[in-house]
């Protein structure tokens, strides 16, 4: 491997490798990456304790327009990944809930994710893998992707 490869290119190549293998499973399930992203956001909102998840919540979380989200939800409902029902607090709004099929898909994707990670980390010790995860956690925090983010005043 080229030792002088820019770090951005390295991350890009790793991302593409992960994405390619995860996309294969999504294709088998007749899902797009955007649809899977919506299911992921729905899962996060449900696990956060939010009593009801509305279409507007998913639009804000995924930065998708109302008409586009309407079509995504219709397709996910038709495929059995979500169910829609009137909201308990306001029956004018549609509450979206994930199904067992959606939860099973998340488990399958997590397993594929783990397998791809293990393949890419072949030759690394358990300690090196743990260090890699710890370092990327810090980098994600610094980038503001998964939490408070850190601001450097340098």
Domains of the chain in sequence order: 21-143 (1.10.10.10)
For residue 52 the two structure tokens come to 């009801």
CB-CB contact of 82 with 58 (8 Å): no
The predicted-structure confidence for 55-65, as pLDDT tens digits, reads as follows 999 999 999 99
The predicted-structure confidence for 8-39, as pLDDT tens digits, reads as follows 999 999 999 888 888 888 888 889 888 988 99
Does residue 40 register a pLDDT over 60? yes
For residue 46, name the pLDDT band (cuts at 50, 70, 90). very high
For residue 1, name the pLDDT band (cuts at 50, 70, 90). low
Q: Which residues contact 73 (CB under 8 A, 6 or more apart)?
A: 38, 55, 58, 82, 84, 94, 96
CB-CB contact of 62 with 50 (8 Å): no
Alpha helices in the chain (DSSP H): 7-28, 33-47, 55-62, 66-78, 100-120, 126-143
């Amino acid at each position: 491997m080229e030792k002088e490869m820019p770090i951005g290119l390295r991350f890009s190549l790793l991302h593409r490798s992960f994405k390619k293998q995860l996309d294969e499973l999504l294709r088998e399930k007749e899902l797009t990456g955007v649809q899977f992203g919506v299911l992921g956001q729905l899962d996060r909102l449900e696990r956060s304790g939010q009593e009801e998840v509305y279409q507007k919540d998913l639009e804000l979380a995924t930065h998708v327009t109302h008409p586009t989200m309407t079509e995504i939800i219709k397709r996910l409902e038709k495929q059995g990944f979500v169910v829609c029902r009137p909201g308990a607090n306001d029956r004018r709004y549609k509450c979206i809930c994930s199904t067992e099929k959606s939860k099973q898909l998340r488990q399958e994707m997590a397993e594929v994710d783990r397998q791809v990670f293990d393949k890419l980390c072949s030759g690394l010790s358990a300690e090196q893998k743990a260090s890699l995860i710890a370092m990327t956690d810090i980098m994600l925090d610094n980038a503001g992707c998964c939490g408070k983010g850190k601001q450097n005043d340098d």
